[in-house]
Structure formats: structure tokens, C-alpha cells
Amino acid sequence: MVLTKLVKREVKAFLKNPAFAISLIVIVLVYAMIGGVMRTGMEEAAKTLRETGIGLVVEGPEEDQQFVKALVSLLNSTVLTGAYVEIYESIDEALRHTDICAIIPSGFTKNVTSGSGMLFIKGIVRLDDLAVFRAQAKIETLNVIAGSIKATLPMATKIVYGKTQYSEVDVKVATEVIFYGKVVNAGSLLALLSTTTFLPVIAAIVIGSNAGYAAQLVAFEKVEKAFEMLLSQPIRRSLIVLAKIIGASIATMVFAVVYVISLIVLFTGTMPRGISFSELSETIQYNELSAQLGVNLGFTVITALVVSVVLGLLSSGSLGIVLGALSPDERTAGILLTPIMLLYMGAGFAFTFLGVELSAIHAIVSGITVVSMPTVYILSIIANEPIYAVVSIISASATCLLLILLAIIIFNRDIVILGIRLRERRET
């Protein structure tokens, strides 16, 4: 019976802790939002697969136009649900109207009628963002087209040529991706997108942790009762603020390094025996992709990470210091910090699933949140539109400076000593 009382006491302590209660509410709201964002991202990808118009271009003049038209008619009326295929005169014209283009190469109809071997079509996909799900959907659409052509070939040959005997052949698609006007290998690009698409989530974890560390530095100092002694020393409060931001950032860097090592250990552990991590990483083929994109991909990714990490740590550190300074103790710090950390996570997931497009507004938002900044930076360099990277960096720097300034202002106000007052109290 004593145990029951003890357990009741422990449960009450949790339930009466506002940080715990707020966490419960916020976690439901944020994850509901994340769920919505994920659904939107996936629905959009599925919609692309179903409804996007697909341009079809016949490469050789010797191809049987009647057969191609019959094939397209069958594709649109029987096999493809939602999607539609339209014939264009040239690849340029097709790409003016759609992001996905299938090309019937020279000799295709001849090979169909002769029934020789495997059939190939060419595919071109245009991508203008770093959303891996959209990219996968568009590339997959071409595979669906190839499969659909395979399925409709027997009926098309029967209609056009009256052939009742047809030996089934595979139809393969050789896909090229036009990524911001540059032709790249689809496999390598997808591998790159798979890596970069999760950068916002990783950034959100690191930045959220940094805000937490920074808030703890101040809140614990208050609880340890050393804070007032420190603030009464003849030093500028701005120095104390900067020291705390740098201190928290160093702690977070240590955390981030261990976190990345853990991820590598995780991925290595999930790989089949006999395959090394370096072999796997080679699938991205950075050198080839760099040459195709016309940028030094390794340098761009590293620069994006360094710039984002530095600005992200400074701004989230400042935010954490602000929250810690507003809190009279670590309990209140927890109350204030929980929604902030969850919002960072939410933003990370949102950018991951919705993708990042280049626009001035997105560049500014990415600078403010920082979580999508590496993606915007990489994309703007690849797209040869560095202005968005510059806008993002300026936005992040301005946010960073404002938060540092806010922290310094708060450190020079009564509230840093008294803490935020949830209720009126007599402090004398």
C-alpha cells in the first residue's frame, strides 16, 4: 500500500509539471502537423504519378505513325489511370508542356513487328527541386509508361497489323534527368537527393538540441545560485551571453559528431555482409554528377553544411539563452523549450516531405529556421542561381544577430533575475 502511495506521488509530480503537460499537447499537435505534411508530400508525389501529362516524341521519321497513335490511344484509354500521354513534335516542345517525356527511338516499331529481343524507349524527366519523393514519382512514371507499353503492344499490333501471334517482350526505359537545365544520371541524382532530403531533419535535431543545451546552461546556473554572483561581476553582459552561446555550440558539435558516427554505424550495420560503406557511397558517383551538374558537389555540400551549422548553432544558441534567461528555473525552461524543439523538428519534417523550391520567400524562411538552409544553398548553386543562397545566408545572419541582440537586451533587464512570471508574485 505504501508502494501505491509512492507511485501516486510520482505520477502526480509528472502530471502537475506544466512542462510535461505542455509537451503532451504540443507533441500531439506537432506530430499531427507532421503527419499532414507527410500525407501532402506523398499525395503530391502520387498525384504526379497519376495525373501528370506525359509527352511522347517519336524520334525517327521512319517510325509508323499509325502504330504510335494506336499505342497512345490504348495507353490513354485502357492502361493508364489518371495519367495521359500526348504526342509532341520535338523534345523541346514536349518539355515546354510537361516534366516527363518518353521518346520512341528510331527502329522501335520495326523491332516490335519483327519481335526481336528487348525494346527500349528513352525517358527524360525535368526536376526543379530537391524533393526526393517528387523525383522518384516522376522517374517512376516513366517505368510505368514502359510497363504500360509492354502491356498494350499485343493489342496495338493486332489493331494496326492484324497480328494475332505476339511473343511478349520486355520494354526498358533509359532515363535521363534534366536537373535545372543540366542532364544528369538519374540513379546518381536520386542517391544525392536521398542524402540531401533528410538534411533538414538532421539539422532540426542538432539545432533543437543546441537550443536545449543553451537554455540549460542559464537555467542550471540560476538553480545553482551562481548566476547572480556572475552577473554582478564587472564584465559586460554581452560577453556572458556570447560565452554561453559558444559553450552550448561546442557541446552541440560534440553531440552532432557522435550522432553522425552513430548514424554511420547504424547504416553500416544494416548493410548486407560483404558490402563496404565506401562501395555503397560510390553509387552516388560524386565526380560524374559534379561534372554533369557543372559544380564541385563535394565542396558545395561541405560549404552548405559549414555555413548552416555555424549560423544554426549561433541562432539556436541565442534562442536557448533567451529562453533560459526568461526562466526562473529549469522547469520553466523546459516549458518554454519543448514547443520550440518540436517546432524545429516539425519544420525539418515539413521541408523533407514537401521539398525545397527556389524562391525568395523560401530562401528567407530557410534562413530564419536554418533547418532547410543547406538544401536551399545546394540547390541554388546547382541551379546557378546563387542569389537564393545569398538571401538565405543574409536572412540567417540577420536572424542570428537579432536573437543575439535580444539575448543581450534580456540579460540587461530585470527579467533575467526575476524570470518570466506566470503568476503575479511578491518578490522582495
Partner 1 sequence: MSYAVKVENLVKVYGKNTIALRGLTFNVNHGEIYALIGPNGSGKTTTLRIIATLIKPTSGTVEVYGVNVVKEPLKARSLISYLPEEAGAYRDLTGEDFIKFMASIRFSGKRFEEVVKEATSICGLGKELKRPIRTYSKGMKRILALSVVLASRPKLLLLDEPTAGLDVEKALFVRNLIKKYNRELGITVLLSSHNMLEVEYLAHRVGVLYGGKIVGEGSPKELKERLEAENLEEVFMKLRGQKWF
Angle at 344 between CA 353 and CA 214, to 5 degrees: 155
Closer residue to partner 1 in complex, CB, 212/346: 212
Query: How many DSSP H helices and E strands does the chain contain?
Result: 18, 6
The upper half-sphere exposure of residue 76, i.e. CA atoms within 13 Å in the direction of its Cβ, equals 15
Q: How far is the CB of 223 from partner 1 (least distance, A)?
A: 8
CB of residue 428 to partner 1, shortest distance in Å: 4
d(CA 174, CA 203): 35
Q: Does position 329 bind partner 1 by CB under 8 A?
A: no
Nearer to partner 1, 89 or 424 (CB): 424
Question: What is the distance of C-alpha 63 from the center of its chain?
Answer: 43
Task: Pick the closer one to partner 1 by CB: 19 or 231.
Answer: 231
CA distance 71 to 186: 26
From 226, 250, 261, 271, residue interacting with partner 1 (rule: CB under 8 A): 226
Contact characters 120-149, partner 1, x per CB under 8 A: ------------------------------
Answer for which of 228, 279, 288, 329 binds partner 1 (CB under 8 A) is: 228
Rule CB under 8 A: which of 69-98 touch partner 1? none
Q: Which of 319, 326, 332 is nearest to 214 (CA)?
A: 319
Kind and range of the H or E element at 85? strand 84-88
C-alpha cell at 226: 551562481
Q: What is the DSSP string of 193-233?
A: HHHHTTHHHHHHHHHHHHHHHHHHHHHHHHHTT-HHHHHTS
Q: Can you tell me which of 12, 96, 97, 236 binds partner 1, judged by CB under 8 A?
A: 236
Instruction: Tell me how far apart the alpha carbons of residues 47 and 44 are, in angstroms, rounded to a whole number.
Output: 5
Q: Does the footprint of partner 1 cover residue 235 (CB under 8 A)? A: yes
Write the interaction track for partner 1 spanning residues 388-427; mark x where CB under 8 A is met and - where it is not: -------------------------xx--xx--x--xxxx
Whole-Å CA distances, 289 to 85, 184, 192, 386: 30, 7, 9, 19
Q: Interface mask (CB under 8 A) for partner 1, residues 177-216, using x and -? A: ----------------------------------------
Decide: is 231 part of the binding site for partner 1 (CB under 8 A): yes
User: What minimum distance in Å lies between the beta carbon of 226 and partner 1?
Assistant: 5
* Secondary structure of residue 319 in the 3-state scheme: helix
Shortest distance, position 424 Cβ to partner 1, whole Å:
5
- Quick one: which of 78, 195, 233, 283 contacts partner 1 (CB under 8 A)? 233
The residue among 89 and 427 lying less far from partner 1, judged by its C-beta, is 427
Contact residues: partner 1, CB under 8 A: 221, 224-226, 228-236, 413-414, 417-418, 421, 424-428
